[in-house]
Structure 1
Amino acid sequence: MSNSRSSEDLPSQSSLSSITRIEWQTAVLALVIYGGFLGLTWFWQSLPLAVVIALGGWLIAWHGSLQHEVIHGHPTRNRSINDAIGWPPLSLWLPYAIYREGHLTHHRDEHLTDPIEDPESSYLTQAGWDRLGLVGRSLARWNSTLFGRLILGPLVMIVSFLAQEAALLLEGDRARSNFWIRHAIGVAAVLVWVIAVCGMPLWLYLFGFVYVGAALTRLRSYAEHRYADHHDERTAIVENSTLFGLLFLYNNLHVLHHQRPGVPWYRIPALYQRHKQTLVLINGGLIYDGYLDVARRYFFRPHDDLRHPLHRSSSSMISSEYL
């Protein structure tokens, strides 16, 4: 049975996306995340530092998962309301509007992993690889291990993203400028609350919330995709992840998300179990038994050759990996 035929065996997107006016599960989740953020930043001095960092990193990563959910049309039928829920820049570095634009481009599945067409690709063209130089290639190899992705990955992701955005702004991209002006207003509001009102040191927020949260997000994205000849086989499944499944809003069952991106997070586990055989057939058996299995395989070993197989003699630009 072909991948396309297997995909047809899944329920249609329209039947899975028939929702009430408000998905209360997601609305409540948003209240928990924003309420938790306000509570943690307000009471941080009453808590052990390790607890502040653990909860802060969790909340920022969870907020990123919520943003991903609203990008895909949840929890209401009104995009303006959804965007308002996802907009607050708790992570500081990634404007929601740019995330939305890039992530929806990423969902052109026929281009998955392509460093030119997929904004979330971790691969490089041969020309991009050559431009890194010896030191850059060593850092890139280190970043392709899970250990490196968790320790170094957030810095690589944030710095490379900001450098690319700075280049666009210097070229006079007005749409980008408008995105960043609105984002800067939100960042200022977050920092006034955190530093001026709650008295948290900037270093603690940048490390304990932003960096740790980015590292948790890098754990999710680390093994999500790898190149295969058929685009359906480029998307992985990470099973048996109760805690991280909740943190990632079940994006660990990633092939289901790419096959039916409009399915709300709370319906994914049951739908996956119901159609597991079909989904594993679709993705060619790219499946892991939890994130410990991912760590066992790749903690100190590269996940893949960073040079994309279809661009090893290309003169194309480096990919814009930021999620």
Structure 2
Amino acid sequence: MFGLVLGALIAGSWLGIHFYAMFVFELSWNAWPQVLLMAALQCWLSVGVFIVCHDAMHGSLAPGWKSTNSGIGAILLFLYAGFAWRKIRDAHFAHHKHTGEDGDPDFDTAHPTQFWAWYWTFFRRYFGWQSLIYVNTVVGIYLFVFDIPFMQIFLLYGAPALLSSLQLFYFGTYRPHRHGEGAFADGHNARSDNFSTLASLASCFHFGYHLEHHRRPDVPWWALPGARRAGVAA
């Protein structure tokens, strides 16, 4: 139940700020502080929405309620970027099964140390035609039906969404699984950041405690600091 409450707060805040930014807020030159604040919050909350979906994939959003996990995950993934639930879920399970090797859709075997090359591979694998059609449809409706200025759409919808993908990739994929940082602790081919709890929350909703997650994928995001203190990755 606690996970569902947190998930509702994250997703509700994300949607609330989005609708305010699109349909209430008026973009002007003297509103830049508010624009930057909303864009930063939307970027961070977008990361949170994906992490909520990630917990739904593992059944830890609503333990024991398979259909609830699937339903919430499917809705939020579609709203996030037009993603298909089963495709993303199956790809994530493949990541856990083949972490850091051939068959891992999150890993770039050709560029295991190069951030931008790996990110481009990651982006192409996940943001396919369905996502492009979805995003362009949303932008088109906002632009031509609701007459929202393009710059407002870009700054408060497009940019936070793109930056959130970079944030998720950097803290949730690249840092935990990159090569060239010493040997991995075990066959999970993952490492954890030594961030404080607050810094871990701010960076990627504790997804930087990544070895703990791979060893205990049933632990929800909000419980990962406790798992770390308990020595799950020791």
- The question of a shared fold, defined as TM-score above 0.5 by the shorter chain, is answered with yes
Choose from 6, 31, 41 the match for 2:8.
31
More off after superposition, 264-273 vs 187-196 = 187-196
- Contact in 1 for aligned 2:91/2:105 (Cα 8 Å): yes
Matched, 1:96 2:85: yes
Q: Hey, what does 1:113 align to over in structure 2? A: 100
Matched, 1:144 2:114: yes
**Structure 1 residues 200 and 30, CA gap change in structure 2 (3 angstroms):** farther
Cα deviation, residue 244, structure 1: 4.6
**Structure 1 residues 268 and 193, CA gap change in structure 2 (3 angstroms):** farther
Greater RCO (CA < 8 Å, at least 6 residues apart): 1
TM-score (norm 1): 0.56
Choose from 167, 170, 176 the match for 1:224.
176
Residue identity matched to 2:57? I
Structure 1, unmatched stretches of 5+, are 1-23, 125-139, 167-179, 281-323
Q: Hey, what does 2:60 align to over in structure 1? A: 74
Where 1:235 maps in the other structure, the secondary structure is: coil
* Number of residue equivalences: 214
CA deviations 1:71-106 (Å, max 9, x no partner) are 110222222211221223233254332110100111
Residue identity matched to 1:157? F
Cα deviation, residue 52, structure 1: 2.4
Where 1:90 maps in the other structure, the secondary structure is: helix
Cα deviation, residue 259, structure 1: 0.9
Distance 1:122 1:112 in 2: 11
Distance 2:94 2:48 in 1: 22
Distance 1:189 1:26 in 2: 32
Structure 2, unmatched stretches of 5+, are none
Which protein shows a greater Rg? 1
**Structural RMSD (CA):** 3.4
CA deviations 1:38-94 (Å, max 9, x no partner) are 221222225622122211211211111111111110222222211221223233254
Distance 1:96 1:56 in 2: 22
- Contact in 1 for aligned 2:205/2:221 (Cα 8 Å): yes
Q: How does 1:2-21 map to 2 (within 5 A)?
A: none
Cα deviation, residue 156, structure 1: 5.2
Where 2:4 maps in the other structure, the secondary structure is: helix
CA deviations 1:86-134 (Å, max 9, x no partner) are 22323325433211010011111xx3211x221111322xxxxxxxxxx
Distance 2:188 2:73 in 1: 30
- Percent same amino acid among aligned pairs? 21
Distance 1:120 1:58 in 2: 21
Q: Hey, what does 1:269 align to over in structure 2? A: 225
Residue identity matched to 1:34? A
Choose from 215, 218, 225 the match for 1:259.
215
